[in-house]
Structure 1
Amino acid sequence: MTTLTLKEKAYAHLREVILKGELKPGDFLTERTLVEMLGMSRTPIRAALERLDVEGLAKYTPNKGLIVAEISMNRVIDFFDYRMAIECYVVRRLAERHWSKEDVEWFRENLRLQRQYVAELDYVSFTQADSLFHRKLMKVYDNSEITATMEQLQDRMFQIALKVLRKEQSRIQASYEDHAQIFEYIVQGNSDKANQQMEQHLEYGKQILIM
């Protein structure tokens, strides 16, 4: 196994436990503890921590070292406002298009999985399907700048969506229903309703976190 592979493995593991909330905001990320946790030397772990710092999932604090980063309320509001501006526009435009059979089938299968995860109360798997749903809408719209930006936001999308569901567990059913309704409005060609439903969907998520 090469050092590069070890770096990637360390990064992937730490990213996953942070996004899933197994390591919480404010938790210390000490090399000594992580060496024991991952069974690796300090070199790949140090590289993974540097990458997490650059990506905003961890941050250095004076006299404390590296900790899991907290998402400020201002950043949550900015995040949702940005998504509303982009995603409401995209679903409106998508409702004006002819959809391929392949894309329709992809969303039907994604929604089927969402419904399954709702029944199982599997918040992590649901959040993964949720994130894929929103990102796929951007990919179908096929604007390279929007797609690239949304891909950069995917970790925050997952982290914040999971935080919403854990704060209000009944939201998982409502979130699935929102997604299903958004998609139905799009394929029906109802751009106004698709826009309105997406706006309500994102606004509700924002309000849960800032209440």
Structure 2
Amino acid sequence: MTVGEKIKVLRKQLKLTQDDLAKKLGVAPTAVSAWERNANKPLMDKIMVMAELFNVPFTHFFEVDEYDDTYEVKLPLYGNVSCGEGLLVFETPTEYRATPEDWIKSGDYFYVRASGDSMIGARIYDGDILFMRKQEEVENGEIAAVCVDDEIVLKRVFRTNGSFILQSENPNYPPRIFNPKTDKNVRIIGKLEKLIVEF
């Protein structure tokens, strides 16, 4: 069953029209219609709202390959995330990637693509695909995706005296220090779970 078919079935079970669902999600009715026709796919934030509305796990909306012994779900790969004025906004995914279901525990997951050479000491190179768990806190020394204005940077994160330090894995890049109380356009968006190297 496709994502659109699942949305349509759940919507009808609650006796909602496309207009009703659109109002609850804050989108145009044409968006719901496009989802149900599989002409487009909802963004992750709308999937999370629908999961709560329909009382199903968010993974219910991912397409599962029934012909593969290892079940897979489709997760978004984001090219851009912005956090202007402290509001976090995930842009439209550049693609959806098949992901083994057993990679997904509790929580929300997504992909980003590594850019630059600041993390080469951790064997993370430009163009590598990074599998992330969405969360706003990480332990000291863990590698995280951090939104700085309209840019995603991948760094080791250390907290000290209320601020956090973004540490590269390349001596050519000095640490960057931010205060979450004053630097509103800086936010941790996810913890690195896996590195996918493509040849």
The two structures share one fold, judged by TM-score above 0.5: no
Considering Cα pairs closer than 8 Å and 6+ residues apart, tell me whether 1 or 2 has the greater RCO: 1
Structure 2-normalised TM-score?
0.25
Higher strand proportion (structure 1 or 2): 2
TM-score (norm 1): 0.24
